[in-house]
Amino acid sequence: MNLSVKIFLALVASVIVGLIAGPEGLPFIKWWIAPIGTIFINLIKMMIVPVVFTSLVVGMTSLGDTKTLGRIGLKTVVIYLVTTAIAILIGFVIAGIGHPGSGLQMIAEGKVDVKDAPGIMQVFVGMVPTNPVDVMAKAQILPLIVFALFVGVGIIQVGGERAQILIKFFDAAAEVCYKIIAMIMNFAPIGVFALLLPVVAANGPKVLLPLISVIACLAIGCAIHAVVVYSMLAKIGGHVSPGKFFSAMSEAMMLAFTTCSSAATLPVNMKNLQEKLGVSREVTSFVLPLGATINMDGTALYMGVCALFIANVFGVDLTAGQMMMIVFTGTLASIGTAGVPGAGLIMLAMVLQSVGLPIEGLALVAGIDRILDMFRTCLNITGDGAVAIVIDRDEKKREGLVA
Ligand code: ASP
């Protein structure tokens, strides 16, 4: 049986057992079962720093040699980042309207100490690490990201064979992190069961509605982002009608929806954009692999929705400043998310950590994460396609091939 089915069954089992046990069963559950959930959460926390650091370095180095890629690279990255930030904002708006999670209450281990958003200059000062080791030890996400970006750029600047050694090293290290995460995730059905059981026992059946509302918020947010933002990009930037765009993308979108992997969808996306929309080989072979690595609008939108959902569940009111912080860390987290199933869930831990939201909230999301992954991956690869069309048109204009 595959893992996501097991995790989903664990969620179902926790609901059934929790409803049977009810509040009377709580003392036993809290004493014997809940600590298993804490162990699971600690295992995930253990991986946040290593996975953020290695995968962001890899994400940066995948930009390659900045000189040759210069123009296209900069344009592509700017559009990627802007659309990603818009995606998180859409996630906030939809979750702000839909209020997923209200009506359900979870209590965090220890006090929920949501960090106040500092003033804008303070953010910049706080972003620069004075001691990377200290930053890692304290799992301070923002300066850690900045350090990782510097390391990535440094490696690109060194270039040549010596850089290749490091690129291979970080690539392998990121791979090791993902393997460890995969091991931890094997434990997820038990962890999720142990985390959710006390919640269901304490709250009763009203625990189900919030989960359905998270799925609905994400699905609606993805649809809006695709129809509004990507249609506009394709039409205005690429002179391709939305109908033509989505029909050319449909096969890759279906594949992404079912495999939950941008990386696995990449070959089909490249082929279809070349064959169905005439995008040049140069553009598809640069913009799409880069997009499958760093451009994850669906994942970003999911971070926005889930952060608000978890804040609701834990009764935390996020300020505008904290939301900006989530947009910022969420954009960077989506860059570091690998194009494989379930990667976004781990990065969500980092976003929660950046504003001090309780990571225990992940348990709720984990139970339905496969369904959420289908929507977000579908949006992820559609965004890559839209940007490829815009860059292709721009390049052809530059070469005088189109008016
Ligand atoms: N599964 C997503 C993708 O491949 C990444 C994620 O988990 O958000 O694009």
pLDDT tens digit sequence for 356-385: 898 888 888 888 888 899 999 999 999 999
- What is the per-residue pLDDT across 259-304, written as a single tens digit (0 to 9) for each? 888 888 888 888 889 899 999 887 887 788 788 878 999 999 999 9
User: Percent of the chain scored above 70 by pLDDT?
Assistant: 94
What is the pLDDT at residue 151? 93
Residue 205 Cα to ligand 1 middle (Å): 30
pLDDT over 90 (residue 219): yes
- Nearest CA among 46, 85, 70, 287 for reference residue 185: 46
What is the pLDDT at residue 115? 60
Boundaries of every domain in the chain: 3-398
Comparing 79-93, 158-172, 201-215, which segment has the lowest mean pLDDT? Answer: 201-215
Residue 319 Cα to ligand 1 middle (Å): 28
What is the pLDDT at residue 123? 64
- What is the per-residue pLDDT across 159-192, written as a single tens digit (0 to 9) for each? 889 999 999 999 999 889 878 888 887 888 998 8
Architecture of domain 3-398: Orthogonal Bundle (1.10)
What is the pLDDT at residue 153? 86
What is the pLDDT at residue 68? 47
Ligand 1 lined by 339 (C-beta under 6 Å): yes
Average pLDDT, the chain: 86
Residue 336 Cα to ligand 1 middle (Å): 11
Written in H, E and C, the secondary structure of the chain is: CCHHHHHHHHHHHHHHHHHHHCHHHHHHHHHHHHHHHHHHHHHHHHHHHHHHHHHHHHHHHCCCCHHHHHHHHHHHHHHHHHHHHHHHHHHHHHHHHHCCCCCCCCCCCCCCCCCCCCCHHHHHHHHCCCCHHHHHHCCCHHHHHHHHHHHHHHHHHHCHHHHHHHHHHHHHHHHHHHHHHHHHHHCHHHHHHHHHHHHHHHHHHHHHHHHHHHHHHHHHHHHHHHHHHHHHHHHHHHCCCHHHHHHHHHHHHHHHHHHCCHHHHHHHHHHHHHHHHCCCHHHHHHHHHHHHHHCCHHHHHHHHHHHHHHHHHCCCCCCHHHHHHHHHHHHHHHHHCCCCCCHHHHHHHHHHHHHCCCHHHHHHHHHCHHHHHHHHHHHHHHHHHHHHHHHHHHHHHHCCCCC
What is the pLDDT at residue 288? 86
pLDDT over 70 (residue 66): no
pLDDT over 50 (residue 79): yes
Ligand 1 lined by 260 (C-beta under 6 Å): yes
Ligand 1 lined by 385 (C-beta under 6 Å): no
pLDDT over 60 (residue 158): yes
What is the pLDDT at residue 116? 59
